[in-house]
Amino acid sequence: MISRIEQRCIDKNMKMTGQRRVIARVLSESSDHPDVEEVYRRAAEIDPHISIATVYRTVRLFEETAILKRHDFGDGRARYEEADGDHHDHLIDLKTGKVIEFSSEEIESLQKEIATRYGYRVVGHRLELFGVPLAANETAD
């Protein structure tokens, strides 16, 4: 079965080598936001002959062709996710690096309200919240 990312590459008339197919599959199956080293580790489990350089080049190509989105969550690593997913924002756990995706109609509405107040129409945004877990007896003041 062809992965979502592989299909998008085909739709863009990209040459799909066996190693690109493996990388596309790894990225399509990722439920997290892996960095290149993690993509390499997962791809090498499928194809031990794949090189880290191939993964770097392929991820860069996928980013340049708007198949992947690059994120910097403040941990010094570029992390990636598929570009055409549903809109969502991110909450990043500063202790573990875990990325939680969320959507909020209230946030979307507030952004439109603020833009309108200043005479603008929102055409896009990115929201990344950084936090640490609350202690058992702590409130989120």
Q: Residue positions in the annotated binding site for Fe cation? A: 87, 89, 108, 125
Which candidate, 35, 98, 42, places its Cα nearest to that of 70?
35
Phi, psi of 73 (to 5 degrees): -95, 20
- Please state whether 138 falls in left (phi above 0), alpha (psi between -120 and 50) or beta: beta
Name residues whose C-beta falls within 8 Å of residue 49's C-beta, 6 or more positions apart in sequence: 19
What is the rounded distance in angstroms from the CA atom of residue 64 to the CA atom of residue 58?
Answer: 10
Which residues are annotated binding-site positions? 87, 89, 108, 125
Block residue for tokens 């993509």: 39
